[in-house]
Structure 1
């Protein structure tokens, strides 16, 4: 019996597609697709219904379904577009098949319902699984990228690295900061590591504790940690909280911290214009002599 109904659906696919497109189109003004251009909406709907019929005909086409699901994610369309579209297809197809027969007994109707469900349910499962799988993969990649950006360690000069921190610091991020500091300091053979908290909006007891732990860990592997970006309000908060930051150097700005790092590594900033002037004066005095 299922093959009979499938034959009716495939032979009359144009009519079913037309009915499906009409009903989906009427939903556009009332749901999440209202802001989508007519051209994109129509082309995606046609691709969707083609995927449905291809799955019915070929008993599932994983590559086609996977590509369509990934396209929807890239377009930013929600999962409800898939479920709504398949429910509309189910309803339209059942109505069309029933309209093609004079039989109205409950057995026939039950067979039609069961047959159409047997087509649509695997498609729903496959599309939803592919959609959620692709979404989870994208979210996972984004999470990794955000983690890398949340605690970057930047080698700016031989033996000197900087970790600029922006945003709030929670326990999970503090752990990442610690790991990146230690791994990066060893990898870059850092003698001095500057932690820049200019972009950290609030430094409370927990944040200060995490920073102190990180600085202490860096000290234990033989490097010096300099905390920079101590704004006046942050300094006042630290004093009011009774937090001791005396174990490692602190500076109000990255510029001052970098100068300190140069001193620690036996280097300094030289004014070339001034230096050239001194050399010229020395040459002039030698010439006069």
Structure 2
């Protein structure tokens, strides 16, 4: 990189940083400003400008490492890619404007300085976009996996009794996850009774009922009994009107009653114990 540009940025680093923070904050949309405090915004902005400047004189390995860490941080903060890429453009505009105002850029060297500055900035912009995008895709992928795991958990509540609470809409992809978790969990916990609680499922149509029946059949094939809990009056009415047959397994209107029935099936029950005074 041209020594004039390098020396100017190093000499005026603090002034460039202050102007960059002020300009970027004024142009930032509400999404960026809502999710972080002023202190976090300022510290992250300083980190970004330091990162850009470190590409002037730091080693490539150190720069790439810092770039990866910064990308992960801004993804966690929820800053959009447009904000990050626009921030790099703003940095370039501030540097060139200040160099012109200071007389560092003249008519004689203007073309060469602009070309060299562009040759330095463009690869860095591409690197930032690529690493940010890769980090975002990785984060979304991990979140998707975590949500899938949490969307259909099988929870042991008593010995040989497990519960799967379902919340939200059930589509084909989620139904597969429910089936897989049911079978793996029932074997892992040595379940004799598995309760599927649909209290949190807003709508039970033919497709949802079909998926639940399939899951119940699969559980029976591995030697466990399946019970459907949380059937609200409106759900019961829908099931009847659709002509869905749920006679092949026990149904209860609440999870509490389902657990009581499951205890009876495993030769146990809940009793009140009086504490001696």
CA contact (8 A) 2:24 2:90 kept: no
How many Å separate the matches in 2 of 1:9 and 1:49? Answer: 15
Matched, 1:255 2:256: yes
Could you tell me which residue of structure 2 aligns to residue 139 of structure 1? Answer: 140
Larger radius of gyration: 1
Counterparts in 2 of 1:243 and 1:34: CA distance versus 1, 3 Å? closer
1:195-210 correspondence to structure 2 within 5 Å: 195-210=196-211
How many Å separate the matches in 1 of 2:106 and 2:272? Answer: 98
How many Å separate the matches in 2 of 1:273 and 1:192? Answer: 29
Could you tell me which residue of structure 1 aligns to residue 269 of structure 2? Answer: 268
- Residue of structure 1 aligned with 2:6, choices 10, 18, 23: 10
How many Å separate the matches in 2 of 1:102 and 1:127? Answer: 30
Could you tell me which residue of structure 1 aligns to residue 47 of structure 2? Answer: 47
Could you tell me which residue of structure 2 aligns to residue 192 of structure 1? Answer: 193
Matched, 1:118 2:116: no
Residue 179 of structure 1 and its aligned partner are, at CA, apart by 0.3
- Residue of structure 2 aligned with 1:94, choices 93, 96, 102: 96
Deviations 1:183-219 (A, max 9, x none): 1111111111000011111111111111011001111
SS class of match (1:197): strand
CA contact (8 A) 2:154 2:164 kept: yes
Could you tell me which residue of structure 2 aligns to residue 286 of structure 1? Answer: none
- Residue of structure 2 aligned with 1:26, choices 18, 23, 30: 23
Residue 148 of structure 1 and its aligned partner are, at CA, apart by 1.6
Corresponding pairs, count:
268
How many Å separate the matches in 1 of 2:25 and 2:69? Answer: 23
List alignment gaps of at least 5 residues for structure 1: 277-289
How many Å separate the matches in 2 of 1:87 and 1:120? Answer: 8
Could you tell me which residue of structure 2 aligns to residue 160 of structure 1? Answer: 161
TM-score normalized with structure 2 length: 0.87
